[in-house]
Structure 1
Amino acid sequence: MDEEQVLRRRAKAGYVEVHPTDSALVVFYEVEAEIIAEHGGSILADRTLCQKQIRVPALTPKTDVAALAQRILSKCKYIMPSQLGEVEQLLAFLQQRNRASGHNVQAAERAESKRQMLVQAADKEQARLADIDDYIEMLYDDTKSKIRGTALILQLVRSPENLAELTHNETMLGALARVMREDGLKSPQLTTNIVSIFFFFSSYSEFHPVVSHFKIGATCVKIVEQEMERYTMWQRAIDKRRRKLEKGELTEQEQLLYVALHLLLNLAEDTQTEIKMVRKGLVPQLVTLLDRMNYEFLTLVVTFLKKLSVFEENTAVMIEHDIVTKLAKFVPHECEPLQTTSLRLLLNLSCKPELRKRMIDVGLLPRLSQLLDEPEVQLGLLVTLLYNLSLDEDTLPLFGATETIPSVMRLILTSEAEYVEVEPVALAINLAKSYRNAKIMCEGSGLKLLLKRGLRVRDPVLLKLVRTLCQHEQTKELLLDFIDPLGKEIQACHQDADMLVELVGILAQLDIENFNFEALVTEYDLIPLMRDILQPGVAEDDLVLEVVILVGTILSDPACAPLVAQSGLVEIFIELLKQKQEDDEIVLQIVFVWNKLLFYTSTRRVVLQHSRAVSYLLDLMHDTNDVIRKVVAGALDIVAECDEHWAAEIRIKQFQFHNGIWLDMVLGEPDQNALDDVDLYEQEHEHDDDFEARRHGLRLDDEGT
């Protein structure tokens, strides 16, 4: 005979947190269920993490927080007496948050509105789990009884500890699903009750299979479609002045849509389920719902759209329905959750260039700039969105007409952290690419403060901003006052590759006429440092590139040419060119340095005596990269004028190249497009060695940067 068993449940107090949006506390606790055998041992144990919300919508600056905390402890059995101080602190924080918003009454109304969205008022009678069979019987009676029965079941599912047991009641779930399908159009209240019941099940991922089994998701999609059609009919009747839309009708419909969409959002955790919803046309319906006025309802709709926007197919549908124009009215907005969620959706959408352009067209840029000074806005989110908008070169000058630049500079220079947050600095770097913006940043002591802070804390990101600011001809001279600290810092940071990249890059910007580079190189002993960095395998490519550029810059001073020629850098460049032949940037800068050395009589012979240097120039003569070919052509012209032997070799190479083109035209009848210089060069493979054959020939822009 089976031994007698007893089911025992125990609730363990957990911790308390403030609700992220509502004026409420959230209590987390654990429910432990055990099956106790007759001999006293535990046969099976199950633990479930549950939560309970304690709403305090009437919390005002005059509320006695200590008394309210005592009252909450007396009412809630899941909070221990020892947590009294913690509850008081949380209530004080909640009180301060409400006061900071400046909309205490509105916030309380919104919280109550959201609560009403999720639950319908049941009869005054208290539901009991033991009477569940009676409630199921009501589902087979008239509409009034069905409403009463569903309201009582709704009371039960609001308690998380009841959900596990109710999921095993297939009779109840099946009856609810049937009534929802058959009688949904007859009574909005009945439909709202049933959808709310399944919503509470959908709030926990482990119950999603139960909800999906009864096809509640598909039914909710149909409900949304039907309610949208009903609203359209209402609007048509209003336009024809046949009827007046009652406030209660719209509120009732939005309550139903709210719980239906919230249920679908929960089920959309599964990607396949989400795809099914999209195929049924959910995206355009959600975009249309952005015209509603209820803040809590709009926040849910925008949240759903944000989740869907990660897929390009959904974004394409949003573009068709001009979603940016609809979202623009929520920035700025008095409802902070709606504003924040809208910014998150805009951030997702800003990854597409056409949507960034649309955001500019509808005037979002000045609105976003104004939010930078708002105390409650999420700066990281806002700055990242502005950063995305700054990716388009045509947009950069528009930032100068807003408050973005002063606000970003203030964020950078007043940051209390040792290292400034990356987001505002990254935005500033993008903005500094425009001279108009760079001029605003450098006004007053802007550049000086940035450079002083960057050197003091050794922040390479700030120094990158300084380097970008000084890339304009009109701002380069501002660096002249900081040569000494820059030179000293290079020597002090010779082991810090990130700092060296930026410091060397800043000095490489100093291509200023009549600047004494010889004094700079000599005083700070830069030649040995550059030689050490350029040794094969010592430094990363980005640092190597900046050092090569710096060598080209200091060669603007004729007095520096002998120093470079005697330093052994030419031999290093030959080896470097062999190793980095697939990197067009490094190849271009090395050829530029050789061009400078060939230009000066005192150093020309140093290059010419290295046959491999000239041979590499010959191989690069017909490179697929326009900029490299132009620089090489200038260098070879100087070689041909100064050395008859190499002049003859250059003429032979040119003849072979052009003769090969002529033969291809005669024998192969190439397409007319092949006559273009770039395409002709791409056909050339007749080189003495395989140096050029191993190069990719990546194309640079006209400036070679």
Structure 2
Amino acid sequence: MISEGTHYIKRRVRSGAVDAHPTEPAIVVNYELDAFVLGENGEPVIGDHKECQKVIHLKSLNSNTDCRALAKEVIHKCNLIHETKLYDVEHLIYYLQTRSTANNKIKEEKNQLGLESSPSSIYHICGLMPEDKASLAKIDEYIEMLYDDMPQKVRGSGFILKVTCDKDNLEELSSSEPTMSALARVLREEYRKSFELSSNIINIFLCFSAYKIFHKMLIDHKICLLCVEVLEYELNRYDKLKNQIVSAPRESKQSKVPTPSKLPVPRSAPITSKIIRSQIPISASTNSDSRRHSASFENVKQTVKDKTQKSLDTNSIKTGMSGISARSPDELAIHQLRRNLFKLGKNQDQALKGAVELIYNLTIDKTMEEKVVRKGIIKLLCLLLDRTSTDLLLMSIKLLIQLSVYKEHVDKMKKYLVVEKLPKMFMMKNPSLENYTIKLLYNLSFDVTLSDEILKVGLLPKITELIGTEENSELVCRLCYHCSMDDRSRALFSHTNCLSKIADLLLTFNQYNLILAALCTNLTLNERNSQLLIAKQGLKPFVQLAIDTSDLMYFKILHNMSSHESLKPQFVELIGHFAHLVTILKDIECIIECVGIIANVNVPEVDFKELLESNNLISWMVQFVNNACKPNQTVTDAQLLIEVIKLLGTVSKDENCGELLYEHGTIQQVINLLKNQKGDDELSIQIMYLLYQLMCHPITGDYIIQNTECPIYIIGLMHDPNIRVRKMSNYCLDIIKEFDETWTKKIRAAKFCWFNAYWLNMMKNECDVPCTKPKYDHNNEINLYSYAHQAILMPEDDFMYDKDDNIEIMSTKSHTNSSRPESRNLEDRFDYELDAFNEEQYNIDSYDDDISSIGGHLMQKFTNNIIHFTE
């Protein structure tokens, strides 16, 4: 009570700091207020001190607001802020403006993902109303509620969840061992009894799992394994209700029709029922009554029309009720089960999402990851992919991505058909869900079986649509690269719209993209893909890109394109660039690709002699072949040698080029390579093809057959284990027989001994004597009985050629997964078709002279040893 001598109250205000509001677009002004009651002499009698705050809401603040002007307005209207703090206020307003823009962006992203929830509950809290308040000070009361009946347990867990939503309370709660133990015990014992209770407790532990510091505490209470058990129980409950719907009896929606009798019907019985006609005699209506009857008919028709309209109006109002009342009891039961299933699934989604997210957070520890895998988490996650909740699907795929790093886990995913459940993720039109699905598919695509499964379920068009997008563009290219490893899968890319995108990215992308170039290298092995790749901009931009960058991958792309017959004419006017690059490039791998491109363009429009001379390519090849005869070659040199021999085989089709090689002495060097090569079937095939082309010309053919030992080496390869080598050898021997009759007899004798070696050895009683590979003496005479061992080891079916065999050479290696173009097809190279064995090879009578010189004494011995039976 104020005394009688007091006069007035004095107030003094001291301004303090100015801060930004933590959550709202507002400025908080701190100030101190001193109040004094003054006495008669002006001295304070009673005083009080108080710290106060004033909140200034900036309702007009947005991204376009002028911060300086708004700061001046705030200072002008609020006398608690001095003018000297103008720059401080302006800085705070700018900070609030930036924070507001960022929050709006996050909110928009959440809206797109379907993650935005009401601000009152990030987690769905069961058992509480929105206006219920929770306090950390009452945590003991909430724990006591967990020991009460089920509604109180749910309510108590809801209050604890509200407390844990504030991250500032987590550390204090985690230090309370009774609280954590009680929550873990209630979850372990009661999750089968109440879904709401288990949902609240899982979300409580989820708040802790967001911080790594609390992981050990959660692992000690076995929360992660408990969540797996909850997942399994809830999914089994859902499946059980779903199976009830499937197994429920169904009645036909149509009205029941009596089953027709199966008893025989007498022939005299009428087929149709008798039509009931009017019983009014016709004569009853006279002419005089015609007008009356007509008027009556019009009235009846109008009455029927009114009743029909009224009936339609009534039915339109009571459609739902009439539909329900028309259902049978079984249909109503099924309908109710479906409603219950939908409601259960909707209620489960939030809790299951929390359980999966908690497991995802705790499986950073690899030991815990192994434990949950043994508990069957992969099967449960694959079952969750059948749900429709975006949040739940997103979290499940995240956990599957984390588990798919290990092959053992991928094998389990394969068992539960995970790939078949992923196409629907692209139908939900959710960018984040699509990106995480791409990551999962990429991890799974390392398995060949799952890579094929991705193509079977029709995911390729969905994947290729994402090529060129800002997010995960490189990952999409990597996934496409894995899907383009075999010929069948490459062909599927031609049915998508991705090839034009890839061409644009390859030609316009500022930075080099190795994955994109590797994808193009695989795709261009298919002819249709190559056509679509250059359909928009042509071949020249790709050639120019390869020349400008001198990059190996671009040369590989062009090399693959040049192997297709439909694209070879487009290389004719550009082939000079590659011939020039061969002589100036330093990278030997790029040189290999350029030489291969020239070798593939075997079309008549190319003047190879001018090409070789104008670019000094002939001197380069001659020098390289001469150096190749030297020992100690590297692997790269061997690859380049094969490509050079291919190129020589292509240019030697031109007689002028063949003479050019003869003048430079290249033919003898090539024959020496054939003589000295050891076990390289690819090189043998290429050299024999080159010699075949040269033997087709008179000058070079006469030189090879008459002046070199080439025929002897080719005869030796006639019995090579590789069928392609044997085929090419037979082609060359046919040319040799046409040139020289002497070699014809020797070749016939060699073939006879080969095909009859087993019989000849029987005649000599040498079947048990091992034979070696045929050798030739210095007089070029053939060892006639040295083929027995090979003939025994190699059955006749292995070396006899069928008349309809496809003749393909140039490669002895499988090209299933290779980035190298397939070898030449000799059916395109030759003008005739080789019969497996012509008549002279089978007709022994034509070989009388040869046989007499080969083994006449053996025939005599065989005749003398015939046993004659007496009559």
After TM superposition, the score normalised by the length of structure 2 is 0.60
CA-to-aligned-CA distance 1:372-430 (integer Å, 9 cap, x gap)? 46x4553222233333333343344443343222222222222122x3x2333333333
* In 2: Cα distance, 1:114 partner to 1:349 partner: 38
Letter in 2 for 1:177: A
Distance 1:111 1:502, change over 3 A: farther
- Out of 366, 370, 381, which is 1:286 matched to? 381
Name whichever of 474-483 and 532-541 sits farther off.
Answer: 532-541
Letter in 2 for 1:125: A
In the alignment, structure 1 residue 301 sits paired with structure 2 residue 308? no
Matches for 1:471-550 after TM superposition, within 5 Å: 471-493=563-585, 495-513=586-604, 515-534=606-625, 535-536=627-628, 537=633, 539-550=636-647
Letter in 2 for 1:413: L
CA contact (8 A) 2:695 2:704 kept: yes
Name whichever of 347-356 and 400-409 sits farther off.
Answer: 347-356
Q: Which residue of 2 aligns with 1:229?
A: 236
How far off is 1:272 after superposition?
A: 5.6
Letter in 1 for 2:567: T
SS where residue 515 of structure 1 aligns? Answer: coil
CA-to-aligned-CA distance 1:450-505 (integer Å, 9 cap, x gap)? 11222122233223222222211121011112133333333331x12232122222
Q: Which residue of 2 aligns with 1:148?
A: 156
Q: Which residue of 2 aligns with 1:635?
A: 732
How far off is 1:628 after superposition?
A: 1.8
CA contact (8 A) 2:527 2:564 kept: yes
CA-to-aligned-CA distance 1:183-223 (integer Å, 9 cap, x gap)? 12233333234333444555566765554443333322211
CA contact (8 A) 2:227 2:355 kept: yes
* In 2: Cα distance, 1:208 partner to 1:82 partner: 40
How far off is 1:635 after superposition?
A: 2.3
* In 1: Cα distance, 2:93 partner to 2:672 partner: 73
> Which of 1 and 2 has greater Rg?
2
How far off is 1:570 after superposition?
A: 4.5
5+ residue gaps, structure 1: 1-59, 71-80, 682-695
Distance 1:620 1:162, change over 3 A: farther
* In 2: Cα distance, 1:87 partner to 1:532 partner: 76
CA-to-aligned-CA distance 1:235-271 (integer Å, 9 cap, x gap)? 4566723353387754442222112112223344455
Distance 1:212 1:476, change over 3 A: same
Letter in 2 for 1:436: R
SS where residue 241 of structure 1 aligns? Answer: helix
How far off is 1:300 after superposition?
A: 1.2
CA contact (8 A) 1:624 1:699 kept: no
How far off is 1:618 after superposition?
A: 4.3
Q: Which residue of 2 aligns with 1:390?
A: 484
* In 2: Cα distance, 1:660 partner to 1:637 partner: 22
* In 1: Cα distance, 2:716 partner to 2:92 partner: 79
Matches for 1:683-694 after TM superposition, within 5 Å: none
* In 1: Cα distance, 2:140 partner to 2:201 partner: 16
Distance 1:230 1:544, change over 3 A: same
In the alignment, structure 1 residue 127 sits paired with structure 2 residue 143? no
CA contact (8 A) 1:625 1:700 kept: no
In the alignment, structure 1 residue 110 sits paired with structure 2 residue 110? no
Matches for 1:551-700 after TM superposition, within 5 Å: 551-570=648-667, 572-573=669-670, 581-604=678-701, 607=704, 616-639=713-736, 642=739, 654=751, 657-658=754-755, 675=795, 677-678=797-798
* In 2: Cα distance, 1:114 partner to 1:328 partner: 33
Q: Which residue of 2 aligns with 1:405?
A: 499
How far off is 1:302 after superposition?
A: 1.9
CA contact (8 A) 2:506 2:517 kept: yes
SS where residue 115 of structure 2 aligns? Answer: helix
SS where residue 438 of structure 2 aligns? Answer: helix
* In 2: Cα distance, 1:115 partner to 1:362 partner: 42
CA contact (8 A) 1:331 1:339 kept: yes
CA contact (8 A) 1:113 1:296 kept: no
CA-to-aligned-CA distance 1:66-98 (integer Å, 9 cap, x gap)? 89xx9xxxxxxxxxx999999977976786788
How far off is 1:562 after superposition?
A: 2.6
How far off is 1:342 after superposition?
A: 1.5
CA contact (8 A) 1:199 1:262 kept: yes
How far off is 1:139 after superposition?
A: 4.9
RMSD across aligned C-alpha pairs, in angstroms?
Answer: 4.6
Q: Which residue of 2 aligns with 1:416?
A: 510
Letter in 2 for 1:230: R
* In 1: Cα distance, 2:243 partner to 2:344 partner: 15
In the alignment, structure 1 residue 259 sits paired with structure 2 residue 266? no
* In 1: Cα distance, 2:213 partner to 2:105 partner: 37
Name whichever of 454-463 and 604-613 sits farther off.
Answer: 604-613
* In 2: Cα distance, 1:542 partner to 1:292 partner: 54
SS where residue 110 of structure 1 aligns? Answer: coil
In the alignment, structure 1 residue 219 sits paired with structure 2 residue 226? yes
CA contact (8 A) 2:404 2:443 kept: yes
Aligned residues, how many? 609
Letter in 2 for 1:110: L
CA contact (8 A) 2:115 2:391 kept: yes
How far off is 1:358 after superposition?
A: 4.6
CA contact (8 A) 2:568 2:601 kept: yes
How far off is 1:311 after superposition?
A: 5.0
How far off is 1:521 after superposition?
A: 0.5
After TM superposition, the score normalised by the length of structure 1 is 0.72
CA contact (8 A) 1:138 1:148 kept: yes
- Out of 537, 547, 555, which is 1:455 matched to? 547
* In 2: Cα distance, 1:632 partner to 1:670 partner: 17
CA contact (8 A) 2:499 2:532 kept: yes
CA-to-aligned-CA distance 1:16-71 (integer Å, 9 cap, x gap)? xxxxxxxxxxxxxxxxxxxxxxxxxxxxxxxxxxxxxxxxxxxx99687989xx9x
Q: Which residue of 2 aligns with 1:191?
A: 198
Distance 1:344 1:644, change over 3 A: same
* In 2: Cα distance, 1:580 partner to 1:213 partner: 69
CA-to-aligned-CA distance 1:561-613 (integer Å, 9 cap, x gap)? 13223434446546656786344333322332233333333234665588775
How far off is 1:168 after superposition?
A: 6.8
CA contact (8 A) 2:579 2:595 kept: no
Matches for 1:72-87 after TM superposition, within 5 Å: none
Letter in 1 for 2:596: G
* In 1: Cα distance, 2:622 partner to 2:62 partner: 68
Letter in 1 for 2:565: E
Q: Which residue of 2 aligns with 1:346?
A: 441
Name whichever of 270-279 and 255-264 sits farther off.
Answer: 270-279
- Out of 459, 467, 474, which is 1:364 matched to? 459
Letter in 2 for 1:106: N
CA contact (8 A) 2:125 2:158 kept: no
How far off is 1:226 after superposition?
A: 0.8
How far off is 1:316 after superposition?
A: 5.2
CA contact (8 A) 1:577 1:590 kept: yes
Letter in 1 for 2:382: V
CA contact (8 A) 2:653 2:694 kept: no
- Out of 529, 554, 568, which is 1:437 matched to? 529
Distance 1:217 1:612, change over 3 A: farther
Name whichever of 615-624 and 298-307 sits farther off.
Answer: 615-624
